[in-house]
Amino acid sequence: MMLQAQQTAPHFKSVNQDQHTVQLSDFIGKQHVVLYFYPKDDTPGCTIEANDFSTLSPAFNEANAVVIGVSKDNCASHQAFINKFNLQLHLLADTDGSVCAAYDVWQEKEKNGEKKMGIVRSTFLINKNGVLEAALYGVSPEGHAADMLARVKALGV
């Protein structure tokens, strides 16, 4: 069931590129969270999105928000992706798919007439109280980070 704004954000807990545990409760009462899901490290659309979020990282910090990317890639893949592009964000390794399932981004997709399961590029804006301000499924990588920054700024610090 796809999530909607004003719902309580599902709890998430996973390891990041450094194998440190990151969970939603780390940020409740402290920071807004931009949680974005992407299909695969170091692929064209995912690289655009990650680079844009990384470039805007100082502005997200200033707006009291943390940006966290999630895919089913492992920690080593995330670390290589971060190193290759000097990314300034956390990437969670959801290798078991539990975070993807909680946010309903693991869906059937069709490409070239072939149907298969995969991550639908999606972003969730979670306020400091743990409530979804936005639940956006099927987003386009171009310009998406700037749109999310505007949404975060509208929430206030």
Coil, strand, or helix at residue 146?
helix
Annotated catalytic residue within 3, 24, 33, 46: 46
Using only C-alpha atoms, the chain has a radius of gyration, in whole angstroms, of 14
Coil, strand, or helix at residue 148?
helix
Give the Cβ contact number of residue 102 at 10 Å. Answer: 17
100 catalytic residue (yes or no): no
Task: Report how far residue 102's alpha carbon sits from residue 96's, in angstroms, rounded to the nearest whole number.
Answer: 12
Residues assigned a catalytic role: 46
